Chains A and B, each alone.
Chain A
Amino acid sequence: GENVEQHPSTLSVQEGDSAVIKCTYSDSASNYFPWYKQELGKRPQLIIDIRSNVGEKKDQRIAVTLNKTAKHFSLHITETQPEDSAVYFCAASIGDYKLSFGAGTTVTVRA
């Protein structure tokens, strides 16, 4: 089955700096790669996603890149703000079937 690895497990950044989280996946059939943000005690919230026919996608301060050959994808957050502090999960799936999640990255933005 699919195995998703996520690094780093924790990330502390100064407000205004950039944050980068990297994930690798094992199943070449995976074609959908969402990123979720989960605040303490709340549901995972879809913040951005990318499909296998696209190499990069951007939404305001958030961007995701995908390298299908190397089977890795990354989340980039620019101009970080205190409200960006949360746990971020990458995931991979084939369509909407079975999301396989990474272990999560705890991001702390220092004011």
Chain B
Amino acid sequence: ETGVTQSPTHLIKTRGQQVTLRCSSQSGHNTVSWYQQALGQGPQFIFQYYREEENGRGNFPPRFSGLQFPNYSSELNVNALELDDSALYLCASSFVDEQFFGPGTRLTVL
């Protein structure tokens, strides 16, 4: 198992609500990436943070936002939830090129 943790494990929200997901990186890793994995698909890149700055973004709207803190933990915030946001949200921490994933947060939007 990696040292990457995520909370909560599961979350149920209704359409229009806001959600915050949390990730604790593996010790010594200063880069965190967030991915969305819909059922039966590969993970899709949302964005990456390096030393508290956004370092790139995938094809996700601005209502997906993030933060990285000085201890390299991270948050993913999603506003105005839509039904299609239902997915497994994975964070991955890295130091060089290997990315190690957390267990994910399963978000269900009703």
Chain A contact residues, CB within 8 Å of chain B: 32, 34, 36, 42-46, 49, 51, 89, 91, 93, 95-104
For this complex, 25 residue pairs linking A to B, each with C-beta atoms less than 8 Å apart, are A34-B99, A36-B101, A42-B103, A43-B90, A43-B101, A43-B102, A44-B43, A44-B90, A45-B101, A46-B101, A49-B98, A51-B97, A89-B42, A89-B43, A93-B97, A95-B96, A96-B95, A96-B99, A97-B56, A98-B45, A98-B48, A99-B33, A104-B40, A104-B41, A104-B42
Q: Does B58 contact A (CB under 8 A)?
A: yes
**B94 partner, pick from A44, A96, A100, A101, beta carbons under 8 A:** A96
Q: How far is the CB of A13 from chain B (nearest CB, A)?
A: 21
- Chain A residues contacting B31 (CB-CB under 8 Å) are 96
Is the Cβ of A97 less than 8 Å from the Cβ of B48?
A: yes
Given contacts A96-B31, A97-B48, A98-B33, contact A46 B42 (CB under 8 A): no
Q: How far is the CA of A19 from the CA of B51 in the complex (A)?
A: 40
Contacting residues, chain B, for A32 (C-beta < 8 A)? 97
> Would you call A99 and B99 a contact (CB within 8 A)?
yes
If A89-B43, A97-B56, A98-B33 are given as contacts, then 14 extra A-B residue pairs at C-beta distance below 8 Å, sorted by A number, are: A42-B103, A46-B99, A46-B101, A93-B97, A95-B96, A96-B94, A96-B97, A96-B99, A97-B48, A98-B45, A98-B48, A98-B56, A99-B45, A100-B45
Question: Which residue on chain A has the smallest CB distance to residue B42?
Answer: A101
Instruction: Give B residues with C-beta under 8 Å from A.
Output: 2, 31, 33, 35, 40-45, 48, 55-56, 58, 90, 92, 94-104
Whole-angstrom CA separation of A79 from B74 in the bound complex: 40
- Once the chains are docked, how many angstroms separate the CA of A36 from the CA of B104? 15
**One of A42, A46, A102 near B100 (C-beta < 8 A):** A46
Smallest beta-carbon distance A59→chain B, Å: 14
In the complex, residue of chain A having the shortest beta-carbon distance to the beta carbon of B47: A98
Nearest A residue (CB) for B91: A43
Which residues of A have CB within 8 Å of B94? Answer: 96
The chain A residue sitting closest to B4, CB to CB, is A43
Question: What is the CA–CA distance of A3 and B98 in the complex, to the nearest angstrom?
Answer: 19
